[in-house]
Amino acid sequence: MANNNSFEILHSAYLAIEYIDSLLPENPLQQPLKNAWTSMLDNYTKFQIATWGSLLAHELSYFLICLPGFVFQFIPYMQKYKIQQDKPETWTGQWKCFKKIMFNQFFIQLPLICGTYYFTEYYNIPYDWERMPRWFVILAQCFGCAVIEDTWHYFLHRLLHHKRIYKYIHKVHHEFHAPFGMQTEYAHPLDTVIFVAAFFIGIIVFCNHLILLWAWIVCRLIQTIDVHSGYDIPLNPLQFLPFYAGSRFHDFHHMNFTGNYSSTFTWWDKLFGTDSQYSSYLEKMKKQKDTVEKKLE
């Protein structure tokens, strides 16, 4: 009975959102997007779309999302938002990072991406425009994917920090104590495979169209590059997500190495108390700030 009531509530909420969406003016971009999507289907095979489309979605999203953080280092005004101000980015570090992520993307991730077509075929994931889900369904599915990915990430990430395992795999990612956006995918090849697997679990659960795969690529990159950015920018739209961890939360993980294992949300760390050192750190910083302010009065 409880399950039926839950289903009815969710179904009613879906119908309500769909009704509100029907009242809104038609999106002027819908027809051009439909034409572009139809043209893509007419001119490329499913294998080409799944493989090269996914690669393009990843590469363009990755470097475009990294770009603002890269530019911030040249803007003096933005330095007040840098979390670890005593550890600025260096050209040597960024070049080393770039070479590593390009290796990972083309020798580790690309072979995995080449399996995307077979993945969509196995799970009968459609490509056509007519079965493409509405925008609010895609957003809800991406949120569901984030919850699943975050759960996998927390437990596997915590395991990778075990003293008997850490130095062999995850230590590579922690070479940079002060993270920056591009460093997001700087990792051991096995590390990359472990966390890419988390990406696909949500797709297996929710995916009812190829568009979700691409939307989830973009959403996941926005989130992970944001928490690795090294900057705590005010009015960040992601901060409106319930329980969102954010850049300060993950920056502390790189600075401290222990605790704050979640990727997106804070609930697993709060539940298992692995954010205790972070909470103590925040309290210490608050006391120091209060002391300074009292002296200035």
Q: Which two tokens stand for residue 37?
A: 């999507």
User: How many other β-carbons are positioned within 10 Å of the β-carbon of residue 59?
Assistant: 15
Q: Show the beta-strand stretches assigned E in the chain.
A: none
Q: Considering the entire predicted model, what is its pTM?
A: 0.89
Backbone CA torsion sign across 171, 175, 178, 184:
negative
| Contact in structure between 157 and 197 (CB atoms under 8 Å) | no
Per-residue confidence (pLDDT) for residue 294, from 0 to 100:
73
What is d(CA 65, CA 293) in angstroms, rounded to the nearest whole number?
36
DSSP SS3 for 189: helix
Per-residue model confidence as pLDDT tens for the chain (297 residues): 444 554 565 556 556 666 666 655 666 768 888 999 999 999 999 999 999 999 999 999 999 999 999 999 999 999 999 999 999 999 999 999 999 999 999 999 999 999 999 999 999 999 999 999 988 899 999 999 999 999 999 999 999 999 999 999 999 999 999 999 999 999 999 999 999 999 999 999 998 899 999 999 999 999 999 999 999 999 899 998 889 999 999 999 999 999 999 999 999 999 999 999 999 999 998 888 777 667 766
186-190 long-range Cβ contacts below 8 angstroms, 24+ apart = 186/97, 186/100, 186/101, 186/104, 187/104, 189/104, 189/107, 189/108
The two three-digit tokens of residue 272, written as one number: 């298992």
In Å, how far are 29, 210, 224, 242 from 33, measured between CA atoms? 6, 15, 27, 31
Tokens of 85: 């101000």
SS3 at position 80:
helix
Alpha carbon distance 89, 286 (integer Å)? 26
> Which pLDDT does position 3 carry in this prediction?
47
**128 phi/psi in degrees, rounded to 5:** -70, 155
